[in-house]
């Protein structure tokens, strides 16, 4: 009898240990199990998703994100089978991808960034002396109409008063941008420039494209070879190389400042008519949509987006607080800056093709 009781007790103890181990594994899985999300993203978000703090914050919510980069306007041509989401840098290509894959609206738009022009101090001062900009401390406003007029007439730096004392300012005055056929910032540059060229009217027809094509061609052809991402031109600019005027995202400047890196003699010029880069998630699976919504709503991820210079949708307070020490560079409220509407994807593709010749 004692032997039988001992065997029963041993079985119960072993069963209890096994149950505890299984329960422990299940509890542990709750904290460590993650869903792997495959995403194709614009290259300007690569640093955000590679940030160890972002990786940690996503893991805490149950996600591991594996990314591949692409030009935002080239994503439409990719085979996105097997991806959970596409994450281009503006709404027009996102809408085109959504239509192609029959994705329901609305699309999550976690954050945005206006386009700006970075200028070396010498270039900004010469432009200001010739009525193309206003400058106060390390920031100013680029007068797009005046700039486009200079472009129409092939104005050179040597023709601008005050440029003689700056040997680095030579040749045609132009803003260096990315390839508008593949890159979001380059395409949005054409959107803003064409809007101004048409007197505040968005390009919407073949006639509009024909009317603006010669000027758009001048803006692009003067640059020669263009890059597919704004990252390298911005890094070159900060290092002191490259063109004296470069089109970039405000987020790149804000990230540099928040990260306490040396901005050198950088001056930030906000075009008085610019285009905003609305980073838009196109969910291709429910997991992709869940992640897009999380990026929009999770406080930790919103704070990390600000650290990378992005403006979270829906509330300016986070960006305003983080950039408070840098208002001599950044126009927090975008005062004096008008947002130019962006043509449809099909129209902008045609504009870019014509501009590239």
Q: What is the pLDDT, as a whole number, of residue 33? A: 57
Question: Which residue matches tokens 């209890």?
Answer: 16
One domain for residues 271 and 350: yes
One domain for residues 102 and 182: no
One domain for residues 177 and 209: yes
One domain for residues 213 and 352: yes
Q: Is residue 120 part of a domain?
A: yes
Q: Is residue 3 part of a domain?
A: no
Q: Is residue 12 part of a domain?
A: no
Whether 298 shows a pLDDT value over 80: the answer reads: yes
Number of residues that this document lists for the chain: 357
- The overall average pLDDT reported for the chain is 90
Q: Which two tokens stand for residue 71?
A: 């030009």
What confidence tens digit (pLDDT) does each residue in 334-351 have?
999 999 999 999 999 999
Q: Is residue 16 part of a domain?
A: no
One domain for residues 187 and 152: yes
Q: What is the pLDDT, as a whole number, of residue 53? A: 98
One domain for residues 206 and 321: no
Give the whole-number percent of the chain exceeding pLDDT 70: 91
- CATH no. for residue 42? 3.40.190.10
One domain for residues 202 and 317: no
Longest dimension (CA), the chain: 110
Q: What is the pLDDT, as a whole number, of residue 24? A: 36
pLDDT band at 1 (very low <50, low <70, confident <90, very high): very low
Number of domains in the chain: 2
Whether 15 shows a pLDDT value over 60: the answer reads: no
Cα radius of gyration rounded to whole Å, the chain? 25
Separation CA 94–CA 75 (nearest Å): 9
Q: Is residue 160 part of a domain?
A: yes
- Nearest Cα to Cα of residue 92 among 208, 191, 193: 191
One domain for residues 133 and 255: yes
Whether 3 shows a pLDDT value over 90: the answer reads: no
Q: Which carries the bigger pLDDT value, residue 234 or residue 11?
A: 234
Q: What is the pLDDT, as a whole number, of residue 86? A: 98
Residue 101, Cβ density class (10 Å: 0-12 exposed, 13-18 middle, ≥19 buried): middle
**What is this structure's pTM?**
0.88
Q: Which two tokens stand for residue 202?
A: 């968005």
What confidence tens digit (pLDDT) does each residue in 128-172 have?
999 999 999 999 999 999 999 999 999 999 999 999 999 999 999
What 3-state class would DSSP assign to 139?
strand
27-31, 74-78, 121-125: least confidently modelled range: 27-31
One domain for residues 73 and 186: no
Whether 98 shows a pLDDT value over 90: the answer reads: yes
Q: Is residue 156 part of a domain?
A: yes
Q: Is residue 123 part of a domain?
A: yes
One domain for residues 140 and 40: no
What confidence tens digit (pLDDT) does each residue in 162-219 have?
999 999 999 999 999 999 998 999 999 999 999 999 999 999 999 999 999 999 999 9
Whether 18 shows a pLDDT value over 90: the answer reads: no
Q: What is the pLDDT, as a whole number, of residue 71? A: 86
One domain for residues 321 and 351: no
One domain for residues 88 and 200: no
- Residue 12: Cβ within 10 Å count: 10
Whether 31 shows a pLDDT value over 50: the answer reads: no
pLDDT band at 355 (very low <50, low <70, confident <90, very high): very high
Separation CA 345–CA 85 (nearest Å): 19
Residue-range definition of the domain harbouring residue 47: 34-111+279-325
Q: What is the pLDDT, as a whole number, of residue 54? A: 98
Give the whole-number percent of the chain exceeding pLDDT 90: 82
Per-residue DSSP letters for 289-318? HHHHHHHHH-HHHHHHHHHTT-EETT-SHH
Question: Which residue matches tokens 């992709």?
Answer: 288
Q: Is residue 216 part of a domain?
A: yes
Separation CA 158–CA 160 (nearest Å): 5
What 3-state class would DSSP assign to 270?
strand
């Amino acid at each position: 009898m004692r032997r039988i009781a001992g065997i029963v007790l041993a079985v119960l103890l072993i069963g209890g240990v096994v149950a505890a181990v299984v329960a422990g594994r299940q509890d542990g899985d709750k904290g460590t199990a993650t869903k792997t999300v495959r995403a194709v993203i614009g290259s300007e978000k690569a640093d955000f998703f590679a940030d160890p703090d972002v990786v940690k914050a996503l893991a805490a919510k149950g996600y591991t994100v594996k990314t591949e980069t692409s030009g935002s306007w080239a994503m439409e041509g990719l085979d996105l089978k097997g991806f959970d989401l596409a994450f281009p840098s503006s709404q027009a290509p996102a809408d085109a991808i959504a239509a192609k894959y029959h994705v329901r609206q609305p699309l999550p738009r976690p954050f945005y960034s206006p386009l700006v022009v970075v200028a070396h101090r010498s270039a900004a001062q010469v432009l200001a002396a010739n009525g193309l900009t206003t400058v106060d401390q390390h920031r100013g406003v680029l007068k797009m109409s005046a700039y486009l007029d200079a472009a129409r007439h092939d104005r050179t730096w040597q023709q601008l008063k005050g440029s003689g004392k700056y040997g680095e300012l030579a040749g045609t005055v132009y803003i260096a941008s990315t390839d508008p056929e593949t890159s979001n910032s380059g395409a949005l540059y054409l959107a803003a420039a064409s809007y101004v060229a048409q007197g505040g009217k968005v390009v919407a027809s073949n006639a509009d494209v024909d009317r603006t094509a010669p000027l758009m061609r001048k803006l692009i052809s003067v640059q020669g070879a263009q890059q597919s991402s704004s990252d390298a031109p911005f890094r070159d600019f900060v290092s002191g190389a490259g063109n004296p005027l470069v089109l970039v995202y405000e987020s790149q400047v804000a990230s540099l400042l928040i990260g306490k890196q040396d901005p050198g003699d950088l001056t930030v010029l906000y075009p008085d008519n610019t285009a905003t880069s609305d980073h838009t998630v196109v969910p291709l699976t429910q997991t992709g949509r869940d992640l897009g919504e999380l990026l929009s709503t999770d406080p930790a991820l919103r704070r990390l987006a600000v650290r990378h210079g992005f403006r979270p949708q829906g509330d300016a307070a986070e960006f305003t607080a983080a950039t408070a020490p840098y208002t001599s560079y950044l126009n927090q409220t975008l005062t004096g800056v008008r947002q130019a509407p962006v043509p449809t994807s099909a129209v902008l593709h045609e504009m870019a093709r014509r501009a590239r010749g």
